[in-house]
Every structure is written in structure tokens, then in C-alpha cells.
Amino acid sequence: MRVLLRRGFFYLITAWAAISLNFLLPRIMPGDPADALIEKFHGKLTPAAVQALRVLFGQGHASLWQQYVDYWHNVFTGDFGISYAYYPTPVSDVLGQSIGWTLVLISVCTVLGFVIGTGLGMIVGWKRGSWLDSLIPITTLLSSIPYFWFAICVVLLFAIVLHWFPLSGGYAVTETIGFNWGFISSAVYYAALPALTIVVASIGGWLIGMRNMMITTLSEDYVKLAEAKGLPKRRVMFTYAARNAMLPSFSSFAMSLGFVVGGSIVTEVVFNYPGIGTVLFKAAQAQDYPLMQGIFLVITVTVLVANMLADLAYVFLDPRTREG
Amino acid sequence: MAINVATVQEVESTDSVVSSRFGWLRAFRRPLTLTGVIIVAIFCVLAIIGPFIAPYDPSSVSKATLQPPSPEHWLGTTQTGQDILSQMLYGTQVSMIVGVLAAVFATVLSVVVGLAAGYLGGISDEILSLLANIFLVIPALPLTVILAAYLPKTGSFGIILVISITGWAWGARVLRAQTLSLRKRDFVEAARATGERTTSIIFRDIFPNQVAVIAASFLGTVTGAILTQASLAFLGLTNVTEWSWGTILYWAQVSSALLTGSWWWFVPAGAAIALLGTGLSLVNFGIDEFINPRLRQAGIGTRKAQRAQVRPTRLKAPRRSRREARASVSGGRTGDVILQINGLEVDYVGEGSTTKAVNDVTLTLRRGEVLGIAGESGSGKSTLAHAITRLHKPPAWISAGEMLYQRDDGTVVDILTMGDEELRRFRWEELAIVFQSAMHALNPILSIGKQIEDAITAHRPSMSASERAARVLELLDLVGIQTDRAGAYPHELSGGMRQRAMIAVGLALDPEIIVMDEPTTALDVVIQRQIVEKIIELKDRLGFSVIFITHDLSLLIEMSDTIAVMYAGRVVELADAKEFYRNPRHPYSRGLLGSFPTLSGPKRELAGIPGSPPDLRHPPSGCAFNPRCPLAFDRCTVVVPPLFALSGEAEWRQAEAACLLYEGGGTVPDRASVHETDERLIEEAR
Ligand SMILES: Nc1ncnc2c1ncn2[C@@H]1O[C@H](COP(=O)(O)OP(=O)(O)OP(=O)(O)O)[C@@H](O)[C@H]1O
Ligand code: SF4
Ligand SMILES: [Mg+2]
């Protein structure tokens, strides 16, 4: 369990670093974002809002340390200021409305992409040297396609030409958000194309990584021994080869996840999906710094949690990490 | 970028040895890699000449709005009548410059951090690694978006900076691991031991490997940077009046190109990104295969070998009927033959060359016999062991021979012609194998109890769980492991215990034959003795036959009934162990015996055999031993000697040796004079 404690500690440091970075960025960047915003919303800001901006972006009269303390206070109370793109909604409300969409979409797609990609990679690696190897160039092409462009093509084909799926949005406007069948089925229907995009675009990377690891693992003595023992093929493939081959996927999960999350965020924009990605796009357009920073924090924390889950899975799969 | 994660990671653990400084150039011969190189090259050329060959000014508007591709506008026009081909050509330049420069900066950063962390070690390593790990976990794109949003007016240069700041961490981590493991690599140690200068070690041995890893990480970063730039541009976070692939997509998106069905507006830019990314990835595969030889092998000679493995019946050797085969097993020989190997040949199919690692091997194993196989490193012992169990993997394949196994009831089967299911049943039930390194042969993620149990489950499906558990405990007890360690994982056991566990796995189903490929080499002498004694004790008790492979000739002579000496893939001497020890006949055996001190009896002087084993890809003509044989004569370079039967005592079998000196009942000069010759040769060599 020491491993998990160590990892947990590492994530705390990372979270601290990310939040501090968030605090520092506007203060070290050229120009003065707070002034720019106050200028832009000239007269429309309440004194309280101006004060919040100052806490977020500095230039207050307090010392840097005092600003830092205030900033942490805000972070813990969930006070990220007011969004300008969605003025006068507080950033936390904007985040609250969009995070759920993204969370569900990306987590489902990441898991699907990982399972399908790794599963296919396992089979292609197992049958190395067969016709399946010719899939590799195709998968390479697939994994090199920018998510958002693939999204555009998918929309063109399935929404505009074939009319199978809706063009954009997260659910039919006729439905009311809530735990009711109409809404859920509509949300699933609307999520189909974005999900398809993310899953297909992310499969390639998992597939090729797993295939290569599988081939490397297959020449390990313990796989040979498993074969020598006359174990059924399925057991050799899963318990001996694949389970070991999968381990590096978990230890490099952070990077792959960052890749998928980044791609998905831009994908949302294409579908005008009511998630964080679309909000980030609007925030960037409107130079809405408080919102952008809030989004960055939320995504970072979510990714950290996802990484912790991956670490847990790793510890579950690999007894060597469990000692001590 | 995500693509090479797993394999680059792998570098940390494999001991890939780079044979020559320009070995990596070979990677470019693979068609896929070559395709990648060509694609990348074309894009590079376009990036340079693009603006000069563009037919129009990419920003100039015209009346020809939203035109599909036509002879005037090959890729059509935008909503404002701009020429998309021209935008693409200008865009190639910007996108490539951003991608390459960002990758250069990121790579420089990762090389500096990675090498520094790897070489300095200690606290600097801790801090730098922590930094890299933090940057790795923080999702890059949102961070990039924020950074880019703060720097909206800086154009491409700001974007390059931002991408390099967020993109260096992975490369740094890989390079650090690589540096750490390189420092400990055998071949670096070896180079040092042979007295090579440090600089030449760095440039000949360390550098090519590092360069390959750096190149892989660089190309990956180029792909990542181009994608990130495109994403940022698409989100409108770059200077949207500067043409890049991403800006084209941005304008297409904000002008609702999708809704107007103007596919030509956004298809080329995305296709270009995908194509270039594919090209870079393909080049990276080549590099991966260079770094990780196992991947390379998966592609080489694989078709042929794989087919041979799938259909083992297709052999060159003429098939005999089963009755005939049976006759040859019982024909004339004494004792109860359990395994008869006839004319076995195993080839490694390489690029262009074929290595005959096992060449025309004929061996007999009786019930209860311990057959020892000796030979220098590379003489084909392991290849033979794997072939016997049919565990050989491409590029190895069995090109000729038969392996006849006689069951208890007297029926004879050829192991090579068994179908998949028959082979699966046969394995372990009748024939088990123990590998050299228990550390590598035990599955690290399963407890040893489970690894014993699953063999039982696979072959005795009717056994109940509690019966299986009882059997596991019985086996552990048999090999001398406390039964409460059944739930232990391999890494929790000592080396000796692991090897015992391996033997317990081997005994799980009471096999008739156990093949042991250097089962004790990795252990220290005391443990080695214990294990060997255990094996002999178990053999006497359970009555299985053993094929025992080792470098340790003195050990072999002590424990074996008969001994086979291999040289360059052939069995060159075959005799009773005692007879062999008393009177080795083959000049090579004599050299070997001269070079091994025995545990019992007086210590022998280490005479050694001058020279080194032949390159099996280009074996010497005639007797493979002739370049090193002190007794070689003219005929030795012409005729390949078969095994000649010899006179002398024989308990298990009549001694045989493959040396032309015994042709036509001839004899060899006695031992003393052979030694004299050896010594004279050594003198001369000095
Ligand atoms: N995968 C491979 N591809 C090509 N050649 C190979 C391969 N594996 C082994 N060989 C060649 O086959 C020959 C026999 O190798 P093998 O491993 O059987 O030797 P060995 O007698 O077991 O040596 P050691 O005592 O070092 O274990 C060697 O010359 C080696 O170069
Ligand atoms: S055949 Fe010739 S070269 Fe070969 S071992 Fe005999 S004497 Fe030496
Ligand atoms: Mg060997």
C-alpha cells in the first residue's frame, strides 16, 4: 500500500503545482488580464466582482503571499469569480452545468476506446505475422487523424448526408433535463456521434501500443512455459500474455489520457456539445480568463482522479507493486 | 504520439544490443518505413517550395465563391473566393515550421532534463523526475489553451513556445530511463572491460541507441505539435490571418462550411495532417523495431516460419507410416526407448540468411535415463530443447526430422505431426520443461500455487478444487518449499525457491520426460547442488526421464547416464557418462573436458579451446570444428563427418563420435599427445 500512498502524495503535489500555476500565470504573463476585462465590461461590474477579479489576477494592494492565501481560500470555497462569456453567471455555475456532460462522455469513451483498442491490439499481437498485421498502417492513419477533423467528417456523413443523427447539441430541446427516460434516451442519441468520433480516434493508439507490448511479452519465457504446460490458448493469451502486456498501458495512462481528453475537448466544439470543451472554446473566444482557469482546474483535478484510478487498477493487476 | 508509448517504455527493460553503428539504417529498408520517409520528405519539400508554387495569393478574395474543385481552383474556393490550394501550400509551411521548431525545443529540453536526471542521479534526479511527471499528468491541451489565450498576439512563435513547454515531459522521462539502463548495460560494461576509450564507448555504443530514442521522441513530438497547433488554430487561439492547416479549418468552421456542404474546404487540411502524422508514425515504427529487436523479429521471415509452425506436417523429410516408425524405435536397441529424435533440423530464417542452429540431430532417450547435453554457448542446445517441446517461435522453424514418442501402452506418435489439441494434451502430461531462469519463466502476476494449479486444471478438468489444492501443497512439499508459500508471488521468493517452484510446476502432472534447459545456471553453487540432488532424488522416486542441458560439464558427468556433446548445431559425441569422462573421443570433447575442473577428483588445468565458435550463418566447410581442431587434416575441410560407432564399454549405449579420425575404424592419438598439440598451438599463438 506504500505505493498508493506515494502516488497519492504525488497527486497532491501535482494538484498543488497546477493550482499554483493557475495563480501565477496571469501574474507573470505580459499585459494585465484583469484590467483588460474591467475595461471591456466598463461600468457593468459590481465592486464585488472587481474585487474577485483582483484576487484571481493580482494587481491588488495585498502582498503576493496574501494574494496566494486569498486565492487558495477561493479555490476551496469554489469561488472562481464571474464568467464574462456567460456574464453574470459565476464560473462555478457554468462549470457545474457543463462538467457532467463531459465527464460522462469522456469517461465512457475512454473506457470503450481502451477496452476495444487494447482488445484488438491483443489479438493483432497474438496473431502476429498474419494478415492482421496489414491493419497496422490503417490504424496508424486513424490515430494520426485530428479528432476534431474526424468529427467534422463524421457529422458530414452521418448527420448532413445520411440524417441518421442530430447535427449538434446534447439533447433534444423538447426534453427537460432530469432523470427521465425521454431525456436520457435523447442524450444518448445526441452523444452517439461525438462518442463514435472519440472512440474511433482513440482506438488506434491503444491498439498499436498493445500490439507491440503483446509481441514483446509473447517471447517472454513465462508465456512459452504457459504454452508448454498445455494450457488452453485463451488462458495463455489472457492471463499470461495480455495481462502482463497491459501493464505499461496503465503506467503510461497519464499521457494517453491527456491525449484523449485534449482531443475530446476540441471534438465537443464541432458538435456544439454542452460540455466543458464547448465552454472552453467560448471562454477562449471571449478572453474569459476566470472561466478558462476554472476549466483548467476542473479538468486537471478530474484527470488526476482518473490517473489515481488507473494506478489502483495497476496495483490490482501487478502484485509486485503491492509489497511494503 | 500516444502510439509509441508502450514500446519506448519497453526500452527500459529489454537488453537490446546494437550490433553496429549504422545498424539503424537497415530499418529504412522495410517498405512501411520507406513509405513513411517518402511521405515526410514530400511534405518537407512542399513546406519549402509551397509559397513559390502557390497559384494565387491565399488571402486574396475573388468572385468565385464556394467553388468545388475545378481546373482553375484544384481544391476549390472558400466563401470569399480564396483559393484553397494556395492556402494549403502556404499552410504547409507554417504548420511544418511550428511542428518542427516546437519539437526541436521540446526535444532539446527533454534531452537536457533526461540526460541530466539520468547521469546526475540523487536529488537532482528526484526533482527533475518529479517535474517531468507533473507535466506529464497535467492535461496538456487545456494548459496550452490558457497559455495561448494569454499570448494571443504573439503568433506562431508564442505557439511554438507554448507547445514546447507542455510537450517535453514524456521524452525526458524516456531518456532518463534509457540513460539509467544504458549505464548498466552489459555491452557498455564489456566495452569498458576490453579497455576501450570512454569516448569511443559513448559514440559507438551509447550514442546510436540514444539517438534512436531521441529521434523517436522527436518525431512523436512533431506529430503532437502539428496536432496541437491545428487544435489551437481551430479554436481561434492563434493568429487567424496567418495561413496554417488549422486556420483553414477554423475559417471553414466559422463559415459553416459543413452546413453548406463544401467538403473541399475542410477535407484537404485534415487529410494533410493525418497523412503527415501517418508518415511520421511509420518512420517511428522503423525506429521502434530498431530499438526493440523482438518487434523486428515479429516481422522477419515470419510468414514462412509461421506457416511452418501452423502446419508442422509439411516437412522436407519423407513421412513414414506409424508402423514403420514404431519399428525404428524398438529396432535393435536395448532398453525401453521413450523418445527417439531422428534427423532433426531447426533453422532460424533471417533477412537473407538462414542459420541452421540444430543440424541433423539424432538422439535416443530411454525410460529413467538422464541424458546430458553439453556444448558451448550458441551450439544450439536451447534451440534443441525448444524444438523437442515444439515451443520454437518464428523465426525458428523445424525444416526436417521426426520426434517419435513412445507412450506407456507402446503406441508411437511423432510429436511434430500432432495437431493443436493433441499437442496441448501431450504437453506437461507427458513432457514438461524447466527453463534456465525461473525469474523469467514464472508469470510475475500469478502466485506460484496458481501456476501449478492451472496446469492441473487444464489437463484434469474433473479434479475438484480441493483435490487440486491438495496436489499443489503436495508438490510444494515434494520440492521442499513450505506449503504456506503457495500464495506467494515469484518476486517474493528467493532464487533457489523459484527454481524449486519451477520444478514443482514441471512435476505437476507426473510427466514421463522433463527437459531442463540450464535449470541451475543462475544459482550459486550450494543451491545448485541442492537442486540437482533434489532432481535426482525425485527422478529415482518418480521414474521420469530427464534431458539435462548445461554448460557445467563436471555437473553433467556426475548426474547423467549418457552425454551428448553439441557443436555448431550437431551432436559430435554421444557416450555413457562414465565412458565419456574416462575417454572422451572427439577432439572437441577433449578440449571441453580439459577446460572443466571436476567437483570430485583432482582439479584439471584449464587448457581451454583456442578460437571461438563458428558463425552458423556461414559455417566452415567440412567438419565445423576444423578451424579450431588441433588434429585437423585435409579431409576435414571437405567432408562433414557423421557419427562413427566406437569400441569401448557401454552400459546405456555404444559411444559414437563425429570425427573423421574414426573413419573406417581409425583411432585418435592418445590423450597426452593431443594435449601436447594443444599446448604447442597455444605457444605458437603467443
Ligand atoms: N531468434 C534467433 N534468431 C536468429 N538466430 C538465433 C535466434 N536464437 C538463437 N539463434 C542462433 O541459434 C544458435 C543456437 O542458439 P541457442 O540459444 O540454441 O544456443 P545455446 O546452445 O542454448 O547457447 P547458450 O548456452 O548460450 O544458452 C546461435 O548461434 C544463435 O545465434
Ligand atoms: S573431423 Fe577433423 S577437424 Fe573435425 S574434429 Fe575430427 S579431426 Fe578435428
Ligand atoms: Mg541456451
- pLDDT (tens digit per residue) in A299-311: 888 888 888 888 8
For residue B667, the SS3 value is: coil
CB B569 within 8 A of CB B382: no
Mean pLDDT, residues A185-200:
89
Lowest mean pLDDT among A28-37, B176-185, B231-240, B525-534: A28-37
Which residues make beta-bridge pairs with B575? B563
Residue B127: inside a domain? yes
pLDDT of residue B620: 87
Domain boundary among B235, B268, B297: B297
Rounded Cα–Cα distance for residues B586 and B573 (Å): 6
pLDDT of residue B673: 46
CA distances from B362 to B20, B388, B547, B621, B642 (A): 37, 12, 14, 21, 11
Lowest mean pLDDT among B150-164, B247-261, B323-337, B448-462: B323-337
Ligand 2: residues with CB < 6 A are: B 587, 623, 625-626, 629, 631-632, 636, 641, 659-661
DSSP β-ladder status, B337-349 and B396-406: antiparallel
Is the pLDDT confidence value at B598 over 50?
no
Measured N-to-C along each axis, helices A147-154 and B245-254 cross at an angle, to the nearest 10 degrees, of: 40
pLDDT of residue B40: 92
To the nearest 10°, report the CA torsion of B670, B675, B678, B683: -140
| Structural domain of B127 | 80-297
Q: Given CB atoms, is A11 within the 8 Å cutoff of chain B?
A: yes
Residue B425: inside a domain? no
CATH number, residue B97: 1.10.3720.10
Buried b (16+ CB within 10 A) or exposed e, A30-46: eeebbeebbeebeeebe
Q: What is the CA radius of gyration of chain B?
A: 33
Q: Could you tell me the distance, in angstroms and rounded to a whole number, from the CA of residue B641 to the centre of ligand 2?
A: 8
- Is pLDDT larger for residue B299 or for residue A32? A32
Which residue in B556, B583, B513 sits closest to B373, CA to CA?
B556
Confidence label for B190 from pLDDT (cuts 50, 70 and 90): low
- pLDDT (tens digit per residue) in B250-266: 998 888 888 888 888 88
Place of cell 494434451: B425
Residue B166: inside a domain? yes
Confidence label for B210 from pLDDT (cuts 50, 70 and 90): confident
Return the residue whose CA atom lies nearest to atom 4 of ligand 2: B623
Lowest mean pLDDT among A76-85, B319-328, B507-516: B319-328
Position A272, amino acid: N
pLDDT of residue B686: 45
Residue B106: inside a domain? yes
Which residues make beta-bridge pairs with B358? B346
Rounded Cα–Cα distance for residues B437 and B170 (Å): 33
* Residue among B152, B428, B441 whose CB faces A222 most closely: B441
pLDDT of residue B8: 37
Q: Given CB atoms, is A251 within the 8 Å cutoff of chain B?
A: yes
Please give the sequence-ordered ranges of beta strands (E in DSSP) within chain A, or none if there are none.
none
Q: What are phi and psi of B433, to 5 degrees?
A: -135, 145
* Chain B positions in Cβ-Cβ contact with residue A219 (cut-off 8 Å): 294, 297, 393
Who's near B106: CB < 8 A, 6+ residues apart? B163, B164, B167, B168, B171, B221, B225
Determine the residue of B297, B351, B379 to mutate for testing ligand 1's pocket, defined as the one with the most ligand atoms within 8 A of the Cβ atom: B379
Measured N-to-C along each axis, helices B495-507 and B525-542 cross at an angle, to the nearest 10 degrees, of: 20
Residue B514: inside a domain? no
Rounded Cα–Cα distance for residues B69 and B50 (Å): 19
Confidence label for B193 from pLDDT (cuts 50, 70 and 90): low
Rounded Cα–Cα distance for residues B619 and B21 (Å): 25
Is the pLDDT confidence value at B473 over 90?
yes
CA distances from B37 to B271, B277, B568 (A): 17, 11, 40
What is B421-446 written as a DSSP string? HHHHHHHHHTEEEE-S-HHHHS-TTS
Neighbours of B383 (CB within 10 A): 24
| Residue-level length of chain B | 686
pLDDT of residue A139: 84
Provide the ipTM.
Answer: 0.86
Rounded Cα–Cα distance for residues B288 and B4 (Å): 8
Name the burial class of residue B84, with classes exposed (0-12), middle (13-18) and buried (19+) by CB atoms within 10 angstroms of its CB. Answer: buried
Buried b (16+ CB within 10 A) or exposed e, B307-335: ebbeebeebeeeeeeeeebbebbeeeeee
Is the pLDDT confidence value at B291 over 50?
yes
Confidence label for B119 from pLDDT (cuts 50, 70 and 90): confident
Q: Could you tell me the distance, in angstroms and rounded to a whole number, from the CA of residue B524 to the centre of ligand 3?
A: 18
Residue B208: inside a domain? yes
pLDDT of residue B562: 92
Cell of B574: 554421444
Confidence label for B152 from pLDDT (cuts 50, 70 and 90): low
Q: Given strand B545-549, what is the order of strands in its sheet?
A: B431-434, B513-517, B545-549, B370-374, B562-567, B570-576, B656-657, B644-645
Give this prediction's pTM: 0.81
pLDDT of residue B199: 63
Q: What are phi and psi of B157, to 5 degrees?
A: -60, -45
User: What does pLDDT average to over chain B?
Assistant: 79
* Chain A positions in Cβ-Cβ contact with residue B511 (cut-off 8 Å): none
CA distance B505 to chain A (A): 9
| Residue-level length of chain A | 324
Terminal C-alpha separation, chain A: 7
pLDDT of residue B204: 65
- Three-state SS string over B646-663 comes to CCCCCCCCCCEECCHHHH
Which one-letter DSSP state was computed for residue B77? B
CA distances from B91 to B228, B270, B275 (A): 15, 12, 15
Ligand (nearest to CA of B566): 1
Report the half-sphere exposure of B374 (CA within 13 A, side-chain side): 30
Cell of B279: 508518415
Is the pLDDT confidence value at A32 over 60?
yes
pLDDT of residue A58: 63
Ligand (nearest to CA of B632): 2
Determine what percent of chain B is predicted with pLDDT higher than 90: 18
Mean pLDDT, residues B466-486:
90
Mean pLDDT, residues B586-611:
62
CB B444 within 8 A of CB B490: yes
Ligand 1: residues with CB < 6 A are: B 348, 350, 355, 357, 375, 377-383, 395, 551, 616
Confidence label for B27 from pLDDT (cuts 50, 70 and 90): low
pLDDT of residue A184: 85
Contacts 24+ apart (CB under 8 A), A126-134: A126/A214, A126/A218, A126/A237, A126/A241, A128/A211, A128/A214, A128/A215, A128/A218, A128/B298, A128/B302, A129/B298, A129/B299, A129/B302, A129/B303, A129/B305, A129/B306, A129/B394, A130/B306, A133/B299
Residue B85: inside a domain? yes
Do A221 and B277 count as a contact with CB atoms less than 8 A apart? no
Neighbours of A179 (CB within 10 A): 6
Who's near B394: CB < 8 A, 6+ residues apart? A129, B297, B298, B301, B302, B305, B306, B309, B349
What is B599-624 written as a DSSP string? SSSPPPP----SS----TTSPPSSST
pLDDT of residue B24: 54
Which one-letter DSSP state was computed for residue B131? H
Confidence label for A242 from pLDDT (cuts 50, 70 and 90): very high
Neighbours of B614 (CB within 10 A): 19
Domain boundary among B297, B320, B354: B297
pLDDT of residue B478: 85
Which residue in A46, A42, A45, A74 sits closest to A58, CA to CA?
A74
pLDDT of residue B97: 92
Who's near A221: CB < 8 A, 6+ residues apart? B435, B437, B440, B441
pLDDT of residue B206: 64
Tell me the domains of chain A and their CATH numbers: 18-77 (no CATH), 98-322 (1.10.3720.10)
Neighbours of ion ligand 3 (CB under 5 A): B 382
- Is pLDDT larger for residue B150 or for residue B496? B496
CB B550 within 8 A of CB B562: no
- pLDDT (tens digit per residue) in B600-648: 444 444 456 777 788 888 888 889 988 888 888 888 888 888 888 887 7
Rounded Cα–Cα distance for residues B51 and B132 (Å): 38
Name the burial class of residue A144, with classes exposed (0-12), middle (13-18) and buried (19+) by CB atoms within 10 angstroms of its CB. Answer: buried
Mean pLDDT, residues B654-659:
86
pLDDT of residue B6: 36
Confidence label for B25 from pLDDT (cuts 50, 70 and 90): low
- pLDDT (tens digit per residue) in A248-263: 888 777 777 888 888 8
Cell of B150: 494569454
Q: What are phi and psi of B572, to 5 degrees?
A: -105, -20
pLDDT of residue B468: 93
Stated as kind and residue range, the H or E segment containing A147 is: helix A147-154
* Residue among B3, B137, B285 whose CB faces A14 most closely: B137
Rounded Cα–Cα distance for residues A278 and A274 (Å): 6
pLDDT of residue B682: 47
Domain boundary among B262, B297, B332: B297
Closest residue, chain A, to B458 (C-alpha): A231
* Chain A positions in Cβ-Cβ contact with residue B391 (cut-off 8 Å): 224, 227-228
* Chain A positions in Cβ-Cβ contact with residue B386 (cut-off 8 Å): 224
Which residues make beta-bridge pairs with B562? B371, B576
Interface test with B, best of A84, A114, A149 (most B CBs within 10 A): A149
Q: Could you tell me the distance, in angstroms and rounded to a whole number, from the CA of residue B657 to the centre of ligand 2?
A: 10
Who's near B183: CB < 8 A, 6+ residues apart? B118, B119
What is B84-112 written as a DSSP string? HHHHHHHHHHHHHHHHHHHHHHHHHHHHH
Mean pLDDT, residues A222-226:
91
Rounded Cα–Cα distance for residues A40 and A126 (Å): 60
Q: Given strand B412-414, what is the order of strands in its sheet?
A: B354-366, B337-349, B396-406, B412-414
CA distance A152 to chain B (A): 7
Residue B243: inside a domain? yes
Is the pLDDT confidence value at B217 over 70?
yes
Return the residue whose CA atom lies nearest to atom 16 of ligand 1: B380
- Is pLDDT larger for residue B161 or for residue B513? B513
Do A284 and B4 count as a contact with CB atoms less than 8 A apart? no
Q: What total number of domains does chain B contain?
A: 2
CB B238 within 8 A of CB B246: yes
